[in-house]
């Protein structure tokens, strides 16, 4: 009986740890066929223009003034500019959700049962990790795709992006490759150290997350 209960408990934990994939057809992100940095820039711009949305599974370590927290996360970014980042607890439940669309951000701390909604500029001042850069743009860069219409300075290698920077936000890729393997987003004393576990293009739409009725409103987002 004890062994059976232990097996059932393990199955429950493993089931909880499965990341919920959005509905839609998926195609794994394929490496570039470019042989020069200029060709890589053209191919990445074309992939960004052709995408409906992208999804990537990540392992992240967020550091703020020397204090770090690690977690698994799923990132979804749509061509329209919508973005949803979901961070998970070790048991696969939601720990945090960050949704951005049309210059507005919704942040939910599922661990503490709080939420906040406001303009991107205010979010950048309080959350800090992305500086003044839109979360949707950072999402594209984490996926290894250059953002259109932004004053970023890009450095390319034949296999993909090497570095992107704007103002005091710097994104580096080690090694330079698409899809990226390791990405570091740096903003002052804050950083996101990211390992890509899975990357795909998808037809799935990105819906705004529903805020549970019991969550406490207007708590400033921090990590």
Does 121 or 13 have the greater pLDDT score?
121
Domain chopping of the chain, boundaries: 32-209
CA distances to 96, 102, 120, 127, 219 from 75, rounded to whole Å, are 12, 17, 18, 18, 23
Cα within 13 Å of Cα(127), Cβ side: 27
Q: Which long-range contacts (CB under 8 A, 24 or more apart) does 29-32 make?
A: 29/54, 29/56, 29/143, 29/144, 29/178, 29/179, 29/199, 29/200, 29/201, 31/159, 31/177, 31/178, 31/179, 32/158, 32/159, 32/160, 32/178
At residue 20's C-alpha, the angle toward residues 17 and 25, to 5°, is 140
Q: Both tokens of residue 208?
A: 């705004």
- Quick one: pLDDT at residue 23? 64
- Quick one: pLDDT at residue 166? 87
Per-residue pLDDT of 24-33, as tens digits, reads 789 999 999 9
Mean pLDDT (the chain, rounded): 88
Bridge partners (DSSP) listed for residue 164:
154, 171
Please compute the mean of the pLDDT values over residues 180-185 and round it to a whole number.
98
> CATH assignment of 32-209, given 3.20.20.70, 2.50.20.10, 3.30.390.10, 3.90.660.10?
2.50.20.10
pTM reported for the whole predicted model: 0.87
């Amino acid at each position: 009986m004890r062994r059976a209960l232990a097996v059932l408990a393990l199955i429950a934990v493993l089931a909880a740890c499965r990341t919920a994939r959005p509905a839609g057809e998926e195609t794994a992100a394929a490496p570039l066929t470019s042989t020069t940095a200029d060709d890589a820039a053209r191919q990445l711009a074309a992939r960004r223009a052709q995408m409906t949305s992208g999804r990537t599974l990540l392992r992240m370590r967020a550091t703020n003034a020397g204090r770090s927290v690690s977690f698994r996360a799923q990132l979804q970014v749509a061509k329209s500019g919508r973005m949803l980042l979901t961070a998970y607890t070790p048991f696969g439940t939601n720990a945090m959700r960050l949704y951005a669309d049309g210059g507005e951000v919704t942040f939910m701390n599922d661990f503490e049962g709080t939420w906040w909604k406001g303009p991107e500029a205010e979010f950048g001042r309080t959350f800090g990790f992305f500086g003044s850069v839109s979360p949707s743009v950072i999402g594209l860069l984490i996926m290894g795709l250059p953002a259109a219409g932004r004053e970023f300075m890009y450095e390319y290698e034949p296999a993909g992006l090497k570095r992107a920077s704007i103002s005091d936000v710097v994104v580096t890729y080690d090694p330079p490759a698409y899809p990226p393997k390791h990405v570091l987003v740096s903003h002052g004393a804050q950083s996101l150290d990211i390992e890509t576990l899975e990357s795909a293009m998808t037809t799935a739409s990105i819906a705004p997350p529903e805020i549970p009725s019991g969550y406490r409103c207007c708590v400033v987002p921090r990590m």
